[in-house]
Amino acid sequence: MDRKTDKEISRGQILLLSVAAGLNVANIYYNQPILKEIAETFQVNETKAGFISILSQVGYGLGLFFITPLGDKINKTKLILVLQLLLVLSLIGITISGTISQTWVLSVLISFFAVSVQVVMPLVAGLDSKNRGKNVGTIFTGVLIGILAARVFSGFIAEWFGWRSVYGLSAVFILILSVLLKISLPNVANHFDGSYMKLLGSTLWQVKRFKLLRSTSTIGALQFGVFTSFWTTLTFHLSGGPFNYSSDKIGLFGLVAIAGAVMAPYIGKHTDKGGSSNIRFLALGLVIFSILLMLFFPYSVIALVVAVLLLDIGIQSMQVTNVALIYTLDETSHSRINTIFMTSVFVGGAIGTFAGVVSWHFGGWLGVNLQMLLWACVILPFLIKERNLV
């Protein structure tokens, strides 16, 4: 087992890892704007093409549980590089796929290997504990920009060069990134000596082990449920009357969200100074205020833009603070702890998406905002209770 550990990490390495996180996670979302083009290529209906998005989420969920814990057993740097090389092969595969079924399988693999972003998080958290919140915030900025910019990038590239070019270019980017990471990443020790099955068992044990992890994971699931519910239904709201916006105009709201994502490192810096409870209460206040704005001014573009910005800042503030908190629990179990937290967040996001669609179907934009307000209010008692744990 490799015990050599470098406890120094430079600003340049943090920025490179942030780019890596963003480029990796973007692969999960490239498919969303180009499903119609994929359907036309394989001469299938849009429902069959839509399975690509569903299977991408399934692949990422499987990777979260089965791959992320390995960061405590295998050298994190080596694990990241192996995952990225497998991702490159999967991306090349989808560029030459000949059937929709092949594309389904490769979509699962792409998302499965893109989970390396969740190995990057514990890697950064384990280095330079003094600036843990700030550094994790920087990585989160990369992740958020990757998620939000992926749709814009794939739509533009597919329009001019075809949908296969999206994945071909991504393969080139990830390969170049792998070389840079190989050259610059620090060597980080692993801490778990048991078998893989024991590792998975130990991952589940972290839930029982840490009350703070249980509470923070619940908060993370609830706040991400609000986030996904909003972004899933915003397209419905803006594409209908009185807006009747086209997809490119709707995409501009993602740029507003990116502005909110840039705040993440500054939020993390304040978390390092011990202000996690106050930050999350303030963040929840921003989320609730943004929802109220949309409730009272549903057809005001200015109100929507302000609401998007405040909602994103609030959600990301809670997320960054949550992540910084869970990494204070046990340095030797960062990857397993991260697995529990991110799996909870992933489940919360899936439920939030479903709740948003159902609320839109039965109650329109009013129904969506009321259920988001309910989710946000449920977070409050958990924050109050958790003040005694931090």
Asked whether the predicted pLDDT for residue 375 surpasses 80, the reply is yes
Asked whether the predicted pLDDT for residue 297 surpasses 80, the reply is yes
pLDDT confidence of residue 8: 62
pLDDT confidence of residue 245: 82
First-residue to last-residue Cα distance in the chain: 33
CA distance 26 to 151: 8
pLDDT confidence of residue 265: 60
Identify the residue whose tokens are 């929709």.
100
Over residues 161-168, the mean pLDDT reads 94
Q: From 208, 253, 179, 181, select the one nearest 15 (Cα to Cα).
A: 181
Higher local confidence (pLDDT), 356 or 114 = 114
Q: What are 26-60's pLDDT values in tens digits?
A: 999 888 778 878 888 999 886 788 788 878 888 88
pLDDT confidence of residue 123: 83
Q: Confirm if 147 and 352 have CB atoms less than 8 A apart.
A: no
17 phi and psi angles, rounded to 5 deg = -70, -30
pLDDT confidence of residue 37: 85
Q: Mean pLDDT score of the chain, rounded to an integer?
A: 85
Q: Give the three-class secondary structure for 126.
A: coil
Q: Confirm if 24 and 84 have CB atoms less than 8 A apart.
A: yes
In the chain, the domains with their CATH numbers are 11-193 (1.20.1250.20), 202-386 (1.20.1250.20)
pLDDT confidence of residue 233: 83
**Which segments of the chain are extended strands (E)?**
none
Which of 59-63, 103-107, 126-130, 175-179 has the weakest average pLDDT? 126-130
CA 110-93-153 angle, 5° bins:
60
Q: What are 259-268's pLDDT values in tens digits?
A: 776 765 666 5
